[in-house]
Structure 1
Amino acid sequence: MKFAPLLAAAGLLLAFMAPALAQTPTDVWVHADSLTDSPKYPEGFTHFDYVNVDAPKGGTVRMGDMGGFDTFNPILPKGEVAGGIGLLYETLLTPSLDEVNTSYGLLAEAMKVAPDYDSVTFRMDPDAKWHDGEPVTAEDVVWSFDKTRELSPNYAQYYANITKAEVTAPGEVTFSFDQTGNRELPHILGQVLVMPRHWWEGTDASGKQRDIAESTLEPPLGSGPYRLDSFDAGRTISYKRVEDYWGADHPTQVGTNNFDEYVIEYFLDETVWFEAFKGDQFDWWNEYTARRWATAFDFPAVQQGRIVQELFPQDYNGNGLMVGFIPNLRREKFQDPLVREALNYAFDFEALNQTLFYGQYERVDSYFFGLPFASTGLPEGEELEVLNSVKDLVPPTVFTEPYTNPVSGDPAKLRANLRTALDLFTQAGYTLNGTQLVDADGQQLTIEILSNQPTLEPMFQNLVNNLGQIGVTATIRLVDAPQYINRLRSFDYDMIYTQWRQSFSPGNEQRFFFGSSTANEEGSQNYAGIADPGIDALIDKLVIADDRDTQLAITAALDRTLLHHHYVVPGYTLRNARIARWDRFSHPETLPEFSSGFPTIWWWDAEKAAKTGGAQ
């Protein structure tokens, strides 16, 4: 549902078996929008249930990140946007953290959907102000939308069904669509990032004309709870809380944004990054390496209780994912699905989980892994009807074979899987010539895995070694973050290891992930280069699904079809955030169901900080 480039549940099963998609009432002004259920909070609510309305304001929270930044322009497709830029800019609607796909008015106080869903109108909150005191206007919204679509190919695809944005009354902006019945488009438009037209069209301190089409390191004007205070380009950035923030008493903002200062420190080396956390140079560590989580947190600050380790399942409750090795179909050697399927038989996840992952992970077997509507078994019911409607466009195996990953974990099973892989390569036209797997022209099959994450190299080596046993030369190319991002955007790789995140309400974003229209759109998240008429047909059906059961049936059909094309060698995941933190913060007793809420609803705890020592 939500688009990722700019800005990321078993108990929920009953909640998502309703017979129809939540339908925002049409032709009336409403305070909230939901794709999956009626909004929890009624009009006139005072605050979200999960916040502490009496949370103290003060203190500093320091975050750490890898890489750097070179621009404060949030919409350009090139360059590294500074972290935390969302603290400055706001959207028309803002989500709650204890519901899925439900948003409430922020810059817009209300919205009105046309009866046939061919447009949506937002009414601006007259209290919304930029940090210079100027009002946030409907004209700002139109300008921001038009410039974002003009300058970002990614968003041009995402907004493909929106024909225009226009001011239709004082303080009102209307978005018109080229289709009817798409219930997701109004929700998507609530996420539009609104920028100050008057500032961007003005001049800087030296008199130079600003240009939204250019990168900039001039601290921008925002409307959000923080303003950019200071920075060292590419290394550190500091935001300060706005004392007279227009939304301080807004029901969606009460009890949030409790820190006086928000700092991000950047690092170019992962070892240095982790050592900086241990040395109290920043406060919060999100661990993604099983070995480090299991073995590296034995230093004094942990033993003394000054650093706390904790798992947060909330951060994964609201989304699913597919993660894995993604071959680039733009390269001829990966266009045969038999070749792609063979690669999966060479990945020994079970051995890795035993020896490298400390048993912490589970294998991914769905593009919607972790969500209750991921495809399972064989298709039946409405999902089968959907697949039959595109029968000539999807792999025949979707009807006859449940998707399963190969299982290894011991030498005998691995040998059997490698024999299967070799047989698939042979069916695809390759021959084992001595120790080399060669094509009809005698050229050996080679694969380069591109990455900027050295910690993943041991996992990559598992695939490299196993492919080597059947004559495939696989290599690992580690590059720095800027080079990796540039090559990713231009699809300059054989294979990468990355992920697609999915929401409880799949829809338009599937085109950006898997649609033919984005296969060669530089910067899209169609990493595999998928351009398949069957996938396109299923996405088209999904976008206009008019009830929840149909939406889920089409999603399962899409999931199953993607799996049977073998576009990915599925990886693994842990459905918990592994967090270590310096113990100088507190949070509400009950966290929201779909997020740990850090740092938004947490606060500086002076008593804990005094015991922990260090940063103030």
Structure 2
Amino acid sequence: MASEISDGNPVTISHAMAMHGDPKYPADFKRFEYTSSRALKGGELKLHSLGTFDSFNGFIPKGNSADHLGLIYDTLMTGSADEAFSIYGLVANKIEYPEDRSWVIFHINPAASFHDGHSIDANDVVFTFNTLMEKGSPQYRFYYQDVEDVVALDTLRVKFSFKPGASKEMPLTVSQLPVLPQHYWQDKDFSSANLQKPLGSGPYKIGKFEAGRTITYDRVKNYWGAKLPTRRGLYNYDKISHDYFRDFTIAMEALKAGVVDIRVERVSKLWATGYTGRAIEEGRLITEEIDHENPTGMQAFLFNLRKSLFEDRTLRQAIGLAFDFEWTNDNLFYGAYKRTQSFYSNSELASSGLPTEAELALLNPFKDQLPKEVFEQVYRAPVSGELPNNRINLRKAKKLLDNAGYRVEDNQLLTPENKPVNFEVLMYDPGFKRVVNPFIRGLKKLGINAKIRMVDTSQYINRIREFKFDMIVYSIGQSLSPGTEQVSFWHSSSANAPGSRNLMGINNPVIDSLVEQLIKAETRESLITHTHALDRVLLQNHYVIPHWHINHHRLAYWDKFDRPSITPRYDIGFETGLMSWWINPRKVKGINRSQAQAEAESNEMATEAVEQ
């Protein structure tokens, strides 16, 4: 890390950058500690995906893009999985910035190249940024809204200048920009969703595929970045193949049949009862729970506040009381889950208790615009209690509604304006009906007529993008270092932008201000305080009905892998977890022998049964 003075402003030139404090890994580091020097290259990793795909362009708000397209692109810099938010060299091997972070210069690695051998230069970065801002999904305009200018200083240096007052996170945010090849796209329509194989620079490229059903990524054998410290020990498979299935149950059967190698189980019933059979008994198919310290975010029923019916906070709160989590967890999920109490659950970012003095300093200026519960009550998602059928909470809901002027006539709840309280829950996964149907029965006892609207995956995606729903089941993920992306989740500027992630349509000036303050937090401590304050306001406005979470990954995988001795502290996800594993040829041979023996024994038993 080197420093100099430019126009009286200290400037740092470094291999890495941390949001707060110093990066963990020094300039001469060899690899991330959660990778292994023993990793072998080779073999095929067989995965599954749900639904279908019709596009290889995941950057635009059109089509249903294939999973894991990020494998074919390199970003300017890349993060580590054992720090809250630090970045290290990839396409750019050095980063230059002043103390106030009002601009950043990325020094491009002269060795960086696209798969066709064409060198990556600063003009590709400028082209990428401008293209994503003009033609990409709305999220890019939210991410980069504080970028004032992007200029290629020369072939290997590109400068991003930021608007006055921009978040100090912006250098790290723009470092995550994937770099697209200008020479490839100059005669093509970037806004088109199609299955033309794009040109990238990453460790993989698209191989064989069958539209909507299968896709294979082939490892680039002359990948330019293979020996970088941020790439050593990662991306070890020669091929990564995906088969697409209709639902989780079929995908699990594919795993048992050996069509799929590994699966993250999201259905607690399947985890508790579905993993049986000889392969599991003999240890060839392994089930394992791996703890993590990642924020689990918020899975919930989301209200669409653009619907006039849901503008009333009291009604939203009453509807939330009709969801019986305890019954759901005990009867459907085998007690596997914890109720989610925060938008930043399973992390130090989650609010708890009553506001601290530091939080009150942020909240008090808006006291007359906020629910009094923000200041006086600790948020707790409803608990059904000892009486059966969620009676305690339903009585609370009825009292809230009565006091607010709602009334029931002929078993139909009416608003104070005499409008019936009816709505749809938009869904694409039939497996979730078992959760929604009991919720609907609870609502019926309040005189609320709700029903499920099932659509296919493509229609669901389009309706979400266009906000054509009353209520949906959705997961809002969070990182360990919330920043600019919070604008796209909660800020009124994103409320009606098609394709934005403010699916609820929150349009609240207090939340706008809290978000704007959060992304300018100077220290980690300040960031945590701002996140706590925002979390409280979101929770007490009852924009969602919280579901549940677990703080470990449930993995089922064939015993054909080896893996590093250290598990990433914050992730066992696709990129930083599974991509550090590798296939052990000796184990593969053992599995093949065992499967052949099992099949032979099964055939022998079948023959004996026929003869008898």
TM over 0.5: yes
Q: Is residue 156 from structure 1 mapped to residue 135 from structure 2 by the alignment?
A: no
The gaps in structure 2 that reach 5 residues or longer are 1-8, 597-612
1:425-440 → structure 2 map (5 Å cutoff): 425-440=401-416
- The equivalent position to 1:246 in structure 2, one of 211, 224, 236, is 224
Distance in 2 separating the partners of 1:231 and 1:37: 45
- The equivalent position to 2:453 in structure 1, one of 470, 477, 498, is 477
* AA aligned opposite 1:375: S
Q: Is residue 569 from structure 1 mapped to residue 553 from structure 2 by the alignment?
A: no
Shift of 1:547: 2.2
The gaps in structure 1 that reach 5 residues or longer are 1-24, 202-208
Distance in 1 separating the partners of 2:515 and 2:486: 7
1:107 equivalent in structure 2: 91
Shift of 1:421: 0.6
Distance in 2 separating the partners of 1:289 and 1:480: 20
Residues 413/265 of structure 1: CA separation in 2 closer, same or farther (3 Å cut): closer
2:67 equivalent in structure 1: 83
- The equivalent position to 1:74 in structure 2, one of 50, 55, 58, is 58
Shift of 1:599: 2.6
Q: Secondary structure at the match of 1:282?
A: coil
Shift of 1:447: 1.9
* AA aligned opposite 1:268: R
Q: Secondary structure at the match of 1:462?
A: helix
* Segment of structure 1 superposing worse, 473-482 or 413-422: 413-422
Residues 479/410 of structure 1: CA separation in 2 closer, same or farther (3 Å cut): farther
Distance in 2 separating the partners of 1:264 and 1:412: 45
1:608 equivalent in structure 2: 587
Contact 2:112–2:225 under 8 Å retained in 1: yes
1:95 equivalent in structure 2: 79
* Segment of structure 1 superposing worse, 298-307 or 529-538: 298-307
- The equivalent position to 1:197 in structure 2, one of 182, 195, 215, is 182
1:374 equivalent in structure 2: 350
Q: Is residue 580 from structure 1 mapped to residue 556 from structure 2 by the alignment?
A: yes
- The equivalent position to 2:152 in structure 1, one of 167, 187, 202, is 167
* AA aligned opposite 2:260: F
* AA aligned opposite 1:230: K
Distance in 2 separating the partners of 1:60 and 1:377: 49
Shift of 1:198: 0.6
- The equivalent position to 2:264 in structure 1, one of 267, 271, 286, is 286
Q: Deviations over 1:211-242 (max 9, x none)?
A: 22222322121111112121111111111111
Shift of 1:444: 2.6
Shift of 1:260: 0.8
Q: Secondary structure at the match of 1:28?
A: strand
* Segment of structure 1 superposing worse, 182-191 or 44-53: 44-53
Shift of 1:327: 0.8
* AA aligned opposite 1:466: G
Q: Secondary structure at the match of 1:39?
A: coil
Shift of 1:558: 0.5
Shift of 1:99: 1.7
Q: Secondary structure at the match of 1:238?
A: strand
Contact 1:95–1:103 under 8 Å retained in 2: yes
Q: Secondary structure at the match of 1:563?
A: helix
Distance in 2 separating the partners of 1:123 and 1:265: 39
Shift of 1:148: 0.5
Q: Is residue 117 from structure 1 mapped to residue 101 from structure 2 by the alignment?
A: yes
Shift of 1:413: 7.7
Distance in 2 separating the partners of 1:563 and 1:77: 29
Q: Is residue 453 from structure 1 mapped to residue 453 from structure 2 by the alignment?
A: no
2:600 equivalent in structure 1: none
Shift of 1:284: 1.2
Q: Secondary structure at the match of 1:100?
A: coil
Q: Is residue 274 from structure 1 mapped to residue 238 from structure 2 by the alignment?
A: no
* Segment of structure 1 superposing worse, 553-562 or 112-121: 112-121
Contact 2:35–2:580 under 8 Å retained in 1: yes
* AA aligned opposite 1:507: G
Q: Secondary structure at the match of 1:424?
A: helix
Residues 129/192 of structure 1: CA separation in 2 closer, same or farther (3 Å cut): same
- The equivalent position to 2:502 in structure 1, one of 526, 548, 567, is 526
Q: Secondary structure at the match of 1:466?
A: helix
Q: Please give the TM-score of this superposition, normalised by the length of structure 2.
A: 0.92
Distance in 2 separating the partners of 1:307 and 1:413: 40
Distance in 2 separating the partners of 1:36 and 1:605: 39
Contact 2:135–2:191 under 8 Å retained in 1: yes
Contact 1:585–1:602 under 8 Å retained in 2: yes
Contact 1:113–1:119 under 8 Å retained in 2: yes
Contact 2:71–2:202 under 8 Å retained in 1: yes
Shift of 1:412: 4.9
Q: Secondary structure at the match of 1:94?
A: strand
Q: CA RMSD in A?
A: 1.8
Shift of 1:441: 5.2
Q: Percent identity?
A: 38
Contact 2:142–2:485 under 8 Å retained in 1: no
Q: Is residue 417 from structure 1 mapped to residue 393 from structure 2 by the alignment?
A: yes
Residues 612/410 of structure 1: CA separation in 2 closer, same or farther (3 Å cut): farther
Q: Secondary structure at the match of 2:358?
A: helix
2:40 equivalent in structure 1: 56
Distance in 1 separating the partners of 2:416 and 2:543: 23
Q: Is residue 591 from structure 1 mapped to residue 570 from structure 2 by the alignment?
A: no
- Number of equivalent positions: 583
Shift of 1:479: 1.6
Shift of 1:378: 1.1
Q: Please give the TM-score of this superposition, normalised by the length of structure 1.
A: 0.92
